[in-house]
Structure 1
Amino acid sequence: MKLRNINDIQSLPSVLGLKELNQYLIQLIEILENDNTISQAQAAEEINNLISYQCFNEEGLSEETSLKILNWIKSNYEPQNKDSIECNSGSLANLNCYGVEEFINERIEKSNWEFEKNELVDCLKEIKESKNGGE
């Protein structure tokens, strides 16, 4: 199945293999880049929700998929929107590419909002724990 719009996500099985998940996430990013009727907070939520369709695995998302998501987040991040921050933090914690921690640290440095800072600090902790095997 090819995603034509975000409503197609509802037709997907609730658990996807990693290869399928990567394909659907890339398709979703392409949809979001071409559909300006979807709010950035809703788009961030859709990305985060679709990431949660993955089975438990050690491998995680592909670097290509991770970079696409990171680039989308960088372009669409809303630092004053609580929902956007929460969803994007959840997505960032699941990415496997260079630049994620740098982006998070830059946002922490620039932010004047404790909520955003705390969310991103927690995200960094989650990333570091996953790199250390959950220790």
Structure 2
Amino acid sequence: MPGFWSGLVMIVLLGLELQWLPISGVETWQDYLMPEIVLAFSAIPALMRLARSGMIDALAADYIRTARAKGLSRPKIILKHALRNAAMPVVSIAAVQLGFMLGGSEVIESVFALPGTGMWSWNSRLGL
């Protein structure tokens, strides 16, 4: 679902119908929740799939079997050994996603009527 459409759906549902969150504004931290959620909807699924497959591959590796044979605790194996190796591709893709999120923030900021980095980058390209 495109970001502008999910933003409009969130405005109607969470802002107008349920009145849980403000529709626009920059006064409080709640004003930024809906735009942040909309921007995260595009990046999180790919990162979660990559993290899951990376952890599955890392936990099946020989060095994890060796760590278990040495008697290391499960949390230490997961946090120190498996997560460190599984996080490398996630960090790489997250850096690329950051660029896409900056480009998508221009649209999201216009939907939610927010001034932000997306509008600044758009104005800098136009020379304003």
Bigger Rg over Cα: 2
State the TM-score, normalizing by the size of structure 1.
0.26
Q: TM-score with structure 2 length normalisation? A: 0.27
Higher fraction of helix:
2
Q: Answer 1 or 2: higher relative contact order, Cα 8 Å, separation at least 6.
A: 2
